[in-house]
Chain A
């Protein structure tokens, strides 16, 4: 039931969202200027919009800035902050640094993967709702094991706790829609 609702909602907003995002890209380029030095800020803001950097948008930015697509691709792949693959609405980062690892980050990771139905090496769910990544250290070892969902930190995670948090997210989403 719920899954169907999500897909429907996505289909509904496909038309207008693409248009709005593309307008935003042009607004960003217009505001930050078409100089070479504006490239990184432009990429940052564009990524905010799309949650990643789509190939065709990078080509478009290259055209607008008078750079070769290869150079823009070079910059986009150099920085870890940029992603060329579509990311989910929620990016779940689970810390697997030493402290988190010994306090049991692995069972938490498995629980997340199971919960959002991610198999094998895939990191993003097909419905583009969740991206699950492991990171080396979030700098909050006192709260180990730590999970970060978008900009929010959750400490002392357990497989049970993470399920409750994801329940909450889904509830909020359902309310929004």
Chain B
């Protein structure tokens, strides 16, 4: 009796059951083959060579990119394999800045871990003598090319999962680096600060910007009242930093730790998530009744918002105008609660503990301020908070639980589930029915929008009308959805988008976790916290009702708009130069034609060509400047041209002649006199 579909791994017979590569097969039987560039969510790359195994008759092979074939005899730990692995590590280390003690990833670095595990004691090769400059430009991330091992995880994460492609390999051979286009800084390109690159980076080449120093400074400043808000997703992940299982709800200990660190008040962002639900649902119902600006997109994820500002300018009107819960919190504290305390906005220092790196960027936006002071002064990630707890010497596991302070401490399950993909949509659904019909719904669980599927859909009936809901997470999935809507292939009323796979629980500020299982456990924790809540619907939150009574009057009121809503702006994809086309000797009129993505697709090149012909036939080349530019930030009505300071939308090849005569020739005539 011969077993056909089996291989022999280290003498053990193993059945092939659809595994795509040897690596999966070995992991199934409990052998942890080391990898840098292998991630189950990303495409195969086969670059790091750490996963080598010895296959009889074929020699050393990369197990990640070799499919198992029946009868294979595989050795995963032969002397030859050991030797190759160690050499690979040595070579990687030779090119790596080995300042481990001062590295942000000290202790969570895969390179450090594997070097230790495989007993690399000495590096026989020299060190790299040229130090490349660090990129500190981003609000959220720091890039250190000297620590990059060129595994390409960040490159593939950004392009495959997030659909953006900010980073790619540049140069060749020993000069190869991973860099944004034209070696620009992250702040100059279309990076949305989601930080997923840092989350998959096995070393410290891309890390979350550490701002714990600013937190300590504020805590030690006697003139400041320091308050802290904690996002829902933090409470189910922080425990991992202290050896507790993923998904364990550690809210009580977390609050206790923050109080021991010296924060004057400890609040819960979930309460402003409840507020978001009320504002956003009312906004949605208004749009639904008027039939305008649908589908409505959620706007609590700053990564998604920035992505839309770069790539979805035609949808910016569809975004809910609600600020994110973090910013609603900051705004309420600085605009209203400060007055209760008799304090000025700059006497209160608002810290956020977030699972997210993009929140750092969001808090620094110039329109998120009160009397010129930032609403949220400092954003710390879950990782940074863990660092502070360790620095203060608090033994997390032994802390006695404490509860959030009032007034921003009482929350419902609806606010808590914001932490997982589908949560915002579910919370809105819990409210929408009641707001329209006046009747509360019995069944508050909307299982269809939960889970980790790329796109989740549900149809809900509200007062006889079918409401189609879609939930996507990971910006690549959002990009696909936007394309389908543009092509008329998809049609929804309300769409939730979260930039990170899994939603906020999978944010890049969370403890480094390589696998999807951890994220699933955290999501489970979030839904458990919801189940444990006495109140499950945002509209039942008595504290939120009080905010309206005292400060905001009613949902979507002028007061609410002032404090809780925002506007968006188009952003070009990349900063940079324009293409000079005609540089007149004595220019009187300056004309720019947008050839950015949206306008290009709208046919701006044909417009441009026609315009160039017109300048020729009218013989005005000497008196104009003409250039092609990359974004005039009016993407919804392309092709866009700019004549001096005036922006003109929808200039098609058919209408360009009229515009030319009415705007440009007239101006020239006026200038000629």
Binding site for B on A (CB under 8 A): 14-16, 18-19, 22-23, 26, 54-60, 62-64, 67-74, 77-80, 84
Contact = CB atoms under 8 A, between A and B. Distances in A.
Nearest to A80: B172
The 8 closest A-B pairs by CB, nearest first: A68-B165, A69-B181, A70-B168, A74-B168, A70-B181, A73-B181, A77-B170, A56-B577
A79 B605 CA distance: 29
26 contacts: A14-B580, A15-B582, A18-B582, A19-B581, A19-B612, A22-B628, A26-B605, A54-B577, A56-B576, A56-B577, A56-B630, A59-B630, A60-B595, A63-B630, A68-B165, A69-B182, A69-B573, A70-B168, A71-B159, A71-B165, A72-B181, A73-B168, A73-B170, A73-B182, A77-B170, A80-B172
B166 interface: yes
A59 B184 CA distance: 13
Contacts of B170: 70, 73-74, 77-78
Contacts of B189: 69-70
Contacts of A14: 580, 583
B639 to A, nearest CB: 13
Contacts of A54: 577, 579
Given A68-B165, A68-B181, A15 B172 contact: no
A84 B179 CA distance: 15
B579 A57 contact: yes
A62 B167 CA distance: 14
A110 to B, nearest CB: 28
A103 to B, nearest CB: 30
Contacts of A58: 181-182
A19 B179 CA distance: 31
Nearest to B621: A15
Contacts of B579: 18, 22, 54, 56-57, 60
A79 B172 CA distance: 8
Nearest to A71: B168
A70 B180 contact: yes
Nearest to B172: A78
Given A19-B581, A73-B170, 13 more contacts: A14-B580, A15-B622, A18-B583, A19-B626, A55-B576, A56-B578, A58-B182, A62-B181, A67-B165, A69-B573, A70-B166, A70-B170, A74-B170
Given A26-B605, A68-B168, A77-B171, A63 B595 contact: yes
A73 to B, nearest CB: 5
A51 B139 CA distance: 37
B568 interface: no
B422 to A, nearest CB: 29
A84 B181 CA distance: 12
Interface string B559-576: 000000000000001101
A55 B182 contact: yes
Nearest to A14: B583
Contacts of A69: 181-182, 189, 573-574
A80 to B, nearest CB: 8
A68 B163 CA distance: 9
A57 to B, nearest CB: 7
A63 B311 CA distance: 12
Nearest to B180: A70
B216 interface: no
Contacts of A80: 172
A26 B171 CA distance: 26
Nearest to B629: A56
A68 B582 contact: no
B167 A70 contact: yes
Contacts of B609: 23, 26
Contacts of B600: 63-64
B583 A60 contact: no
Contacts of A71: 159, 165, 168
A85 B159 CA distance: 27
Nearest to A30: B605
A74 B576 contact: no
B484 to A, nearest CB: 16
Given A26-B605, A56-B577, A77-B171, A63 B596 contact: yes
Contacts of A77: 170-172
A62 B596 CA distance: 10
A86 B605 CA distance: 25
Given A68-B168, A70-B189, A59 B181 contact: yes
Interface in B160-209: 164-172, 179-183, 189
A59 B594 CA distance: 13
Contacts of B580: 14, 18
Contacts of A59: 181, 573-574, 576, 630
A113 B578 CA distance: 33
Greatest chain B CB density within 10 A among A26, A59, A68 is at A68
Greatest chain B CB density within 10 A among A54, A60, A62, A69 is at A69
A15 B630 contact: no
Contact of B164 (A15, A19, A68, A73): A68
Contact of B583 (A15, A57, A67, A72): A15
A26 B581 CA distance: 13
Contacts of B578: 56
Nearest to B609: A23
A79 B595 CA distance: 27
Contacts of A62: 181
A70 B179 contact: yes
A14 B627 CA distance: 13
A58 B628 CA distance: 13
Interface in B462-499: none
Contacts of A67: 165
A80 B577 CA distance: 24
A80 B574 CA distance: 25
Contacts of B146: none
B165 A15 contact: no
A173 B580 CA distance: 25
Contacts of A23: 609, 612
A53 to B, nearest CB: 10
A60 B168 contact: no
B430 to A, nearest CB: 39
B82 to A, nearest CB: 34
A132 B609 CA distance: 36
Contacts of B596: 63
Given A18-B581, A73-B170, A74-B168, A68 B576 contact: no
Contacts of B171: 77-78
B597 interface: yes
Contacts of B67: none
B584 interface: yes
A60 B628 contact: yes
Contacts of B167: 70
Nearest to B580: A18
Contacts of A72: 181
A102 to B, nearest CB: 28
A55 B577 contact: yes
A21 to B, nearest CB: 9
Nearest to B183: A73
Contacts of B183: 73
Contacts of B595: 60, 63
A62 B181 CA distance: 11
Nearest to A72: B181
B669 to A, nearest CB: 21
A78 B179 CA distance: 13
Contacts of B597: 63
Contacts of B182: 55, 58, 69, 73, 84
Contacts of A78: 169-172
